[in-house]
Structure 1
């Protein structure tokens, strides 16, 4: 291939890449909308779309009827035989798996409880689930992306609510060369909220979630800020709590210990719960049912969460804060306690117009969708497409 041909090929691939990324972010848009957004001429938009349809990456279907005369404009959608990614969520008690197509549509989903909690057993069971995806899906899989309830550093799980330490996930690779990605569940949930949820269109988003402890991520222009080794966002281990309490992470006074089911149990005079998330749910139900001690426990935990959120605003200066998991439920159950503690923790210049809280728009699907998003970031990269789009 001559230098001119190589250059032309690279330019063509860049055009295809831009269109694929646009369709992924905006499924259901028309070709005219895509062309305008990418500053493409009509001829170029048609040529690229035609090539990608022939390769079974995208398709065009009739758009919805609008009530006006004439045929509705066709819309750009994922091809029914196009590329897929597998998103896996490994939680404290349960796992979930989803096969996801371009545009973030879930094609197939499975879930269950851990039969055993050691890393080897859990990963072996998950590999079987991935390999058991429908025969039509498996040949189209381009990447596996795993979200774990724990700290991830340089592609390994260094600490987890399951008790894992220094664990890799190579056991999940079902085909040589397939992209295999690993991320923290809270960080990936924030990516999804920034791109497709309550934080969409926000330049600097702070996402916070509570499950067992509190985690989250700062997302800037849709990209998570993960630090030098990928372990950023462990907000729950900032010393916003009682210094007499030792956290499982090894530190004292972690914010984690003030904001979940463990804190609620202490306020109620109960022993530490085996599953802090389920314990928190029970206490919330009691509080909403009118039990005064449960209401006080929920209010205390919510205030502790609000104070920490105010401190993070001073450190990170976000435009908005999205809340998911138990954080979302606390904001709904005790909004006054949250708002009062949050404002009290803010520097005075912020109190007139503080970054607002926004409840998650994605619910329990946020983590899976975030894992799928980073998988498609890999699939829709120049390096990967160089081998796909020839």
Structure 2
């Protein structure tokens, strides 16, 4: 890292500087002119702010390669080569990934693997985070953990797919580095709202199906995740058969109507050990019985989606994970369920339903955004100026 600059924290704390940084993070490789137009800055102000941010090791300007056309290409605003980084730890039902991510979402380095579902994986992942901290030093500003489970603060209070209860993720973070923890579906929704299928809409409802249903409501780019961060557990709303017990402890959960468990039940098969793989196999099957099972799950997804639209009034609904597969495999059933679940007055002009544009990158992207939300504040820049 370059020597500490003499630039004052006060100079960094201007709203203009924060606005430019947030714009560059959300729009990688935008030019100074792009930022000026989007933020309503004069050319002089944009030049002055950019200069300060470059001096403070926050952004850089890179000339793109010449294309043979006339004129000189405009330099792109990019992450500074010695700028701040965040570490993302992504823990799904059977896999993990750790990555160092720079401003703009670029992945500098990462590792991944499989796990058995034991909470012991936390210790191994902490070792990977510690190694990145040793490698990047003070450049590493936050750790963001993304988990397939219900989260409250920095604790996974329940992850039924892994059998976790009240597992603290505090061991992941090095001393004096903030830890942000989020549910994978909620973070995927955050990314879709800011950068993906919901970008440009003020109120975005995101739904994903993996093992059960998760999601989040995002308003003005901010997730509505409740008092403790455990919001968005849409799959545990009682949209299903009350005779069915859910691993969460409730009965009749929507979770049990839309994933591989529901499709296996429709085919009179035993509960699958791996509901996601079972769902993929059934969706791919050409048999009539399999198509009917898929249609039933898609219809149940649509009904619940309609109910949530009635309650939350979004501009758009975005789908990811197996939800996009269900929509593609049985669009008529999904549409039927959605329409019948909507209040009558909404049916003439319902919120559009869009597939994810980020795909499996959604949770990792959202986790990085959540961590940069901590850095791209007055307090975060003040701390960076002293790094």
TM-score interval, smaller chain: over 0.9
Give 1:305's aligned residue.
Answer: 301
Among 359, 362, 370, the alignment partner of 2:366 is 370
- What is the DSSP-based 3-state SS (H/G/I as helix, E as strand, rest coil) of the residue aligned with 1:111? strand
Give 2:254's aligned residue.
Answer: 255
- What is the DSSP-based 3-state SS (H/G/I as helix, E as strand, rest coil) of the residue aligned with 1:182? strand
Give 1:84's aligned residue.
Answer: 85
- What is the DSSP-based 3-state SS (H/G/I as helix, E as strand, rest coil) of the residue aligned with 1:127? helix
Alignment of 1:64-83 (within 5 A): 65=66, 69-83=70-84
1:93 equivalent to 2:81? Answer no
The offset of 1:301, in angstroms, is 0.8
Q: Distance in 1 between matches of 2:279 and 2:61?
A: 47
The offset of 1:337, in angstroms, is 0.7
The offset of 1:47, in angstroms, is 2.3
Structure 1 residues 20-39: Cα deviation after superposition (integer angstroms, max 9, x where no partner)? 11211122222122223333
1:329 equivalent to 2:335? Answer no
Give 2:166's aligned residue.
Answer: 166
Contact 1:205 1:218 in 2 (8 A): yes
Q: Which stretch of structure 1 is more off in the superposition, 58-67 or 213-222?
A: 58-67
The offset of 1:16, in angstroms, is 2.5
Q: Distance in 1 between matches of 2:53 and 2:97?
A: 31
Structure 1 residue runs of 4+, over 6 Å off? none
The offset of 1:154, in angstroms, is 2.8
Alignment of 1:177-326 (within 5 A): 177-286=176-285, 290-326=286-322
Q: Against the structure 1 CA distance between its residues 310 and 282, is the aligned structure 2 distance closer, same or farther, given a 3 Å change threshold?
A: same
1:117 equivalent to 2:113? Answer no
- What is the DSSP-based 3-state SS (H/G/I as helix, E as strand, rest coil) of the residue aligned with 2:74? coil
Q: Distance in 2 between matches of 1:47 and 1:31?
A: 11
Q: Against the structure 1 CA distance between its residues 90 and 236, is the aligned structure 2 distance closer, same or farther, given a 3 Å change threshold?
A: same
Give 1:31's aligned residue.
Answer: 32
Q: TM-score, normalised by structure 1?
A: 0.92
Q: Against the structure 1 CA distance between its residues 49 and 360, is the aligned structure 2 distance closer, same or farther, given a 3 Å change threshold?
A: same
Structure 1 residues 110-161: Cα deviation after superposition (integer angstroms, max 9, x where no partner)? 22110x4222x11011112223449654552111101111111233211112
Give 1:386's aligned residue.
Answer: 382
Structure 1 residues 217-240: Cα deviation after superposition (integer angstroms, max 9, x where no partner)? 000011000112211111000010
**Unmatched 5+ stretches in structure 1:** 1-7
Give 1:18's aligned residue.
Answer: 19
- What is the DSSP-based 3-state SS (H/G/I as helix, E as strand, rest coil) of the residue aligned with 1:166? strand
RMSD: 1.8
**Unmatched 5+ stretches in structure 2:** 1-7
Q: TM-score, normalised by structure 2?
A: 0.93
Q: Which stretch of structure 1 is more off in the superposition, 334-343 or 52-61?
A: 52-61
Q: Distance in 1 between matches of 2:82 and 2:362?
A: 25
Contact 1:97 1:368 in 2 (8 A): no
The offset of 1:241, in angstroms, is 0.3
Q: Distance in 2 between matches of 1:366 and 1:156?
A: 21
Q: Against the structure 1 CA distance between its residues 210 and 57, is the aligned structure 2 distance closer, same or farther, given a 3 Å change threshold?
A: same
Give 1:347's aligned residue.
Answer: 343
- What is the DSSP-based 3-state SS (H/G/I as helix, E as strand, rest coil) of the residue aligned with 1:22? helix
The offset of 1:85, in angstroms, is 0.8
Q: Distance in 1 between matches of 2:212 and 2:240?
A: 12
- What is the DSSP-based 3-state SS (H/G/I as helix, E as strand, rest coil) of the residue aligned with 2:216? strand
Contact 1:131 1:138 in 2 (8 A): no
Give aligned pairs, total: 377
Contact 1:193 1:366 in 2 (8 A): yes
